[in-house]
Structure 1
Amino acid sequence: MSASLSVRGLEASYGAFKVLHGLDFEIAEGSVTTLLGANGAGKTTTLRALCGMIRRSGTIEFDGRSIARMKTEDIVRLGIAHVPEGRGTFTSLTVEENLQLGAMTRRGGDNIAQDIDRIYSFFPRLKERAAQQAGTLSGGEQQMLAIGRALMLRPRLMLLDEPSFGLAPLIVRELFAILADIRANMGVSMLLVEQNATMALELADQAYLIETGSIALSGSAAEIRDNDSVRNSYLGY
């Protein structure tokens, strides 16, 4: 079951350097929201702040419950899965062992095999490589594995950081089609950070544009896509 997220006045810092300056945004239950912006705008920092990975302040409510003071492991147990940029698979383990690790923080170990089969239904290529070491996979396959491992948590909200990074355009389109399928079939809410603004806006319901740690623009994905400044700066037409 998915859940909603409400963020008010989110600030975050690396040491004395403040990166986020009072962000306000929401993610509706079962929806996809994208954060757009240039490199260094604060998009990745936003995901890290939500997960409790860096010092932050403000109000963060997940399905009506405050998580602003929770530790990362407690946030994960609530059903928030973070897929960081760079994929982060365990390269010496097989594909299936990576998926099994994704279920470690779940309460109870029931139906793990059934869930792995479901992941394979989304990513048939992973099933073909179930016994293969993750480090020998292509970049696209490693990204699929990272998403699949996050899904093994049975998340209610997925935080996706640059899933298209370093991938060929054809693989990117395939990956985003799978994300749309996951959203349709599992109802998982998603917060997507993505440099490929065109693909992100095709998938998303809602969009926020971040500039130097502040929300510069927000609206439906269609409204943001039709905005002249966004088209010129991020969509290339």
Structure 2
Amino acid sequence: MTALLEAKGLHAAYGETRVLHGIGFSVREGGVTALLGANGAGKTTTLRAICGTVRTQGEIALGGRRIDGLQTEDIVRLGVAQVPEGRGTFMELTVEENMKLGAYTRPARRVTEDFEHMFDYFPRLKERFRQQAGTLSGGEQQMLAIARALLLRPKLLLLDEPSFGLAPLIVQEIFRILRRIREDAGVSILLVEQNATLALDFADDAFVLETGRIVLSGPSGDIIKDEGVRRSYLGY
């Protein structure tokens, strides 16, 4: 399987504070890659580097095309969508208005059909279509954030801690839907997830960051067997 996303020698910094130190990784076309690591390891910064929202050095290619150095809006138009930690929901807007924002780069005539696809995945959004997003539950807001990102019709979906703050049953439901989305749309996913067991079960490949450096990478089935990973991230 060919790589959709490839990063080589990737550095990232906030001002004088260096966070990523020359990392390299890839996300397979149609595959899921999990990014694991402790708080402060550089996971969210990695996603921001891909989107061009943090200062970087090195190479990032999407489908063989260099995207490092491009403006964030141009990277989005090339097919990269992010669901940020905390969901990034526009609380004062309705569910409908939030979803329309996700599709703002696309012709309006094609968006209506995609709304129906989102309602198939997330029936609760149809029930709350006219409702203000700030009145939704945490799980419903996460569903809205994922739907909004998918309405871009992305090639690559970046998910930052999608289970954060949610009840276990809601997390199971969201990951069940993500599996459907992957199968139906063939979208590639780069997943940052605090629940390492859940992430490794969902992903094909994984890599582990420590203080901005990759210390382990490979098929998720191999990584879940690694004793160090089990002790540090899985708790057994």
- Tell me which residue corresponds to 2:171: 172
Aligned to 2:108, what secondary structure does the other structure show? coil
Identity of aligned residues (%): 63
Q: Which runs of 5+ in 1 are unaligned?
A: none
RMSD of the alignment, in Å?
1.1
- Tell me which residue corresponds to 2:230: 231
Greater displacement, 59-68 / 122-131: 122-131
| Paired positions, count | 235
- Tell me which residue corresponds to 2:23: 23
Q: Is the 8 A contact 1:3 1:189 kept in 2?
A: no
Once residues 212 and 18 of structure 1 are traced to their aligned partners in structure 2, the CA distance between those partners, rounded to angstroms, is: 10
Aligned to 1:173, what secondary structure does the other structure show? helix
Equivalence map 1:1-237=2 (5 Å): 4-106=4-106, 108-237=107-236
Once residues 70 and 101 of structure 1 are traced to their aligned partners in structure 2, the CA distance between those partners, rounded to angstroms, is: 21
Q: CA deviation at 1:94?
A: 1.2
Q: Is the 8 A contact 2:94 2:131 kept in 1?
A: yes
Once residues 232 and 174 of structure 2 are traced to their aligned partners in structure 1, the CA distance between those partners, rounded to angstroms, is: 24
Aligned to 1:111, what secondary structure does the other structure show? helix
Q: Which runs of 5+ in 2 are unaligned?
A: none
Query: How big is each residue's C-alpha offset from its partner over 1:46-89, in whole Å with a ceiling of 9 and x where there is no partner?
Result: 00011000100101010000001101000000010011101111
Q: CA deviation at 1:3?
A: 7.2
Q: Which amino acid aligns with 2:128?
A: R
Q: Is the 8 A contact 2:13 2:55 kept in 1?
A: yes
Once residues 3 and 41 of structure 1 are traced to their aligned partners in structure 2, the CA distance between those partners, rounded to angstroms, is: 24
Q: Which amino acid aligns with 1:59?
A: E
Query: How big is each residue's C-alpha offset from its partner over 1:180-224, in whole Å with a ceiling of 9 and x where there is no partner?
Result: 110011100000001110111111000000000000000101001
Runs of 4+ deviating beyond 3 Å: none
Once residues 3 and 63 of structure 1 are traced to their aligned partners in structure 2, the CA distance between those partners, rounded to angstroms, is: 7
Q: Is the 8 A contact 1:95 1:126 kept in 2?
A: yes
Once residues 44 and 205 of structure 2 are traced to their aligned partners in structure 1, the CA distance between those partners, rounded to angstroms, is: 18
Aligned to 1:110, what secondary structure does the other structure show? helix
Query: How big is each residue's C-alpha offset from its partner over 1:101-149, in whole Å with a ceiling of 9 and x where there is no partner?
Result: 110023x223211001100101111111111110000001000000000
- TM, length-normalised to structure 2: 0.98
Once residues 17 and 200 of structure 1 are traced to their aligned partners in structure 2, the CA distance between those partners, rounded to angstroms, is: 29
